[in-house]
A and B are shown apart, each in its own frame.
Chain A
């Protein structure tokens, strides 16, 4: 596939705003901070940007979730566009990155700014975290068959997946705990991480239950922050102030019912299909991957991604993560920035930023030696998208 569109684009810049628990700054303010830093990181000026894309764009969602719309950002930066896009439906939160790659490779624009911004910590400062649909007597759409039964969070919807996986394969809470405690160990090396203090397996197991088998530390940490990446034409690679990050392959497939509770085999997720699709677009294999940045909105999702990507067999992800295999220095260093469990719920883009920095060799104490290939898998349940990135 020498002419695949992945060859036509690169990630030329990446940056993040301040990241924290309650910054009390607006989503647009954080986005402008990240965007200007990413543009500078790519060696560009704001007026070079001619595409903007975001997830999800304006949508009816709990406060702090959506971030600013594409047109607010365009107006704020004062740029003219050849291409623009946002949307909730697509291959998970990295959908706008994948589509920016296609737009750049297809010649619609040359330099696309893509961002994801959350202010969920500040939004919850007054109310505490409410369930989806709390207080509503008019639940519409797919939530009508979930929310009235108190299944008011993805924590509930995905706990059902985790429980079934435990039932069929003997996966244990300690396996989920290894995702959380390993992420915490890695977060100690990330100055921007939300939780950096040590957490033992005993600490993990002693935390209060949320929706079993998920306890508090199986759930990611709501935060405020913006991540921006610049997707540029591959022609720009030689002008960069640093090494380019290349798209080797993307995966976008969805081959079962697109539903949280009607997904046929809930020991798997849409990750299974996206990952299989990705591997059809490259000659690289799982053994070639130097670091994996895999979604951990809930700890179980990471286990499901490990299986989906073929790092182990179906049902074998629990034993796979034992014995330090996913730690820095192990065979598959995982979520080296602390993941969303400890680094903060940047909603997918934290994994992208870390993959780029690892490939550029900028990770200091948490750097994976000779990192040439990184995989990013984002999403849970019936939502998934993935990318294989190289330097």
Chain B
């Protein structure tokens, strides 16, 4: 039995909406109303046009795998390994990326550029983590 649990994010002013949306089964990002730019991690200003009129907008949850690593090291006692850390790019905007885990995919089928879709892993009453699985059954 591990003395440690999977580390979880805190709810902070600019990230709380992101984690709560995931808990409700939606992938949402802060979006600039004037220029339409998705802003992640969320900030109180659009770094592209410096607009201050921001909203929250859902995305499709479709992505491509930009890079990945298969982690073999136990970073805390009892941590299950190996697991795949993926850097995924959402289809809605170049460079709109999440570091995540690639799940429901054999390790030897992981490949850069593979199409992915979001799934959510519930952490607690407030938070779920957005993970990604192959968009087509492997």
Using CB atoms and an 8 Å cutoff, list the residues of chain A in contact with chain B. 130-142, 144-153, 155-157, 159-161, 163-164, 167, 208-214, 260-262, 264, 266
Contacts and interface: CB of A to CB of B under 8 A. Distances in A.
Contacts, number: 126
Contacts of A157: 99
A152 B75 contact: yes
Given A139-B8, A211-B73, A161 B83 contact: no
Interface string B1-35: 00111111110100100000000000000000000
Given A210-B73, A262-B95, A264-B95, A140 B7 contact: no
Q: What's the interface size class on B, roughly?
A: 35 or more
15 contacts: A134-B4, A135-B76, A139-B8, A139-B10, A142-B41, A145-B99, A150-B6, A159-B69, A163-B112, A208-B72, A209-B72, A211-B85, A261-B87, A261-B97, A266-B67
A366 to B, nearest CB: 32
A163 to B, nearest CB: 5
Interface in B67-112: 67-73, 75-76, 79, 83, 85, 87, 95, 97-101, 112
A163 B68 contact: yes
A134 B76 contact: yes
B62 interface: no
A264 B95 CA distance: 6
B117 interface: no
Contacts of B129: 148-149
A60 B31 CA distance: 32
B33 to A, nearest CB: 22
Given A131-B75, A148-B6, A211-B73, A164 B99 contact: no
Contacts of B59: none
A138 B6 CA distance: 11
Contact of A135 (B7, B41, B66, B67): B7
